[in-house]
Amino acid sequence: MSDRSEKAGYLAGLDADAIEWISQTYRANGHSLTVQLPHLNSEQIADLASHVARQSKKQLKSLPLDQIVDAIDRTIARLLDRNDPNRRKMEELLPVVTGYAPEMVALGLTGYLKTFRKPQLKRFLAEDFANPSILDGFQPLIKGGFGRAFGPDLSAHIWAGNVPGLPLWSLISSLLVKSGTIGKVSTAEPLFAGWFAQLLAEVEPALTDCLAVIWWQGGDIERETALVKQADLVLGYGNNESLQSIRQRIPVSKRFLAYGHKVSFSMVGTQALSANKARSTARLAAYDIVRYDQQGCYSPQMMFVEQGGSVSPERFAQYLAHDLSVFEAKYPRRALDIEEAGRLANWRSNEELTPSGKIFGEAAGLWTVSFQQADQGFLPSSLNRTIRVIGVNSLQDVPNIVAPFKSLLQTVGIAASPERLFDLAGPLGAAGVTRICGLGDMSSPEAGWHHDGRFNLLDLVTITEIDARAESAADRLASYVD
């Protein structure tokens, strides 16, 4: 596969020969790949945006919702088929671009893509709309009258990160509300979204010109402004500084949905620390850490383990370290760049200098478990398979520990009894947590998950209402009235 070349993006209605293409070479897992990235100028971005918005009104808005759901489902079925050429290409090239182990990419793709099959898409819709037909036409409202939901003519998605397939969540949400969509991919993983768009257009030709996938180097204000100016709705993903920069260029009258930096953690209660359960609990906790090397906001950066079980927090940290070493043999961690390696080395050094702590880790730093006492507080890890295990007297203490960081909190993975799960859920929600799941599921949200506590689809639409009294007024003018 050495010296192979691949084009990124999906340029609806634009002549690819008129576009500047920038080469980016990726090397990982013993292979190299040159990716051609579409570098549109601001005028071309404006033309593309006008084209997608126009085709959205002409084609996408008139499609029945069931036809859109069916098209997405058939596309996902192709990508779940490990013998399909598109899926084979993903498994072959994404490990080179991202650096993740091929086995991890294959496993991650299957788990993630299953979230977007037809039954799961119906759950997306049912979670946000009591009657999803409101996206097709006017439907009765509980308060009286009728309403219809309209998606934007054009939504702009500015994606970040290197987790394969991550843009799919917002892209599919946009399609479900019949919005024309242009997504800007990250240099760290520029291929998946374009591949999906190409395959979707093949499966359902009516969608061919209703979406596009483009790229520019992060921080390019001119190109970013060109897209934002044309869009009716902007969704931004990335660090808080980048999102603040985008927000400054968006008029008050235009909606901007920002998904910034978040921190997640896990909690292990005494019920999961018995002699016959602790090892399986540690294995699930280790999987949450290993999957895509904690690059998602839903990945744990610290773990609170309760005192009083048959297995102590310190011993549990040792079990966790063992399972991380096993996973390293099966799913090797990706190679880090100089900056990432430096941050990890500094984090590990600081943890080693903590008087009350202990380090369990591999000498080269491929994974590290730092065991600390609760008085060390709420301090994130360095990602890339590093985790702080904090011993606490009771899990009931954790909401107070994390509450000062309310704006940063997202997912919590819990290993505890049903009674304690619900006892803890209220205080955790009040502290800012927006998702609670079991260990092993932290990095794979279920269909319809309220991302950062918000709605996936409702946030994208506007509702047009026919007042109940308007119907009565019209009735007085009907042809059958004397």
| Interval 6-33: pLDDT, tens | 999 999 988 989 999 999 999 998 899 9
Q: Are 269 and 235 in contact (CB under 8 A)?
A: no
Give the C-alpha separation, 18 to 15, whole Å: 5
Stretch 78-94: mean pLDDT:
97
pLDDT attached to residue 481: 81
Rounded Cα distance, 264 and 439, in Å: 12
pLDDT digits (tens, 9 = 90+) for 447-466: 888 999 999 999 999 999 99
Between CA 412 and CA 266 the distance in angstroms is 5
User: Does position 363 have pLDDT exceeding 90, yes or no?
Assistant: no
Query: CATH for 4-232, among 3.30.1360.180, 3.40.50.720, 3.40.605.10, 2.30.110.10?
Result: 3.40.605.10
Q: Which two tokens stand for residue 426?
A: 């209220």
Q: Is the pLDDT of residue 119 over 70?
A: yes
d(CA 11, CA 19): 10
Number of helical (H) and strand (E) elements in the chain, helices listed first: 15, 18
What pLDDT is stored for residue 2 in this prediction?
54
- The answer to whether residue 1 scores a pLDDT higher than 60 is no
Q: What is the mean pLDDT of residues 344-348?
A: 93
260-318 confidence digits (pLDDT tens): 999 999 999 999 999 999 999 999 999 999 999 999 999 999 999 999 999 999 999 99
Every domain of the chain with CATH number 3.40.309.10 lies at 263-449
To the nearest 10°, report the CA torsion of 333, 334, 335, 337: -120
Other Cβ atoms closer than 10 A to 373:
15
Architecture of domain 263-449: 3-Layer(aba) Sandwich (3.40)
Binned at pLDDT 50, 70 and 90, residue 35 comes out as very high
Judge whether residue 117 has pLDDT over 90: yes
- pLDDT surpasses 80 at 376: no
Residues of the chain with CATH 3.40.605.10: 4-232
Determine the average pLDDT of the residues in 129-137: 97
Q: What is the pLDDT of residues 200-223, one digit of tens each?
A: 999 999 999 999 999 999 889 999
This model's pTM is above 0.85: yes
Helix, strand, coil distribution of the chain in percent, nearest 5 = 45, 20, 30
Q: HSE (CB half, 13 Å, CA atoms) of 380? A: 18
Nearest to 246 by CA among 230, 260, 261, 225: 225
Cα separation of 455 and 415, whole Å?
27
Q: How confident is the model at residue 251 (pLDDT cuts 50, 70, 90)?
A: confident
Position 356 scores a pLDDT of 77
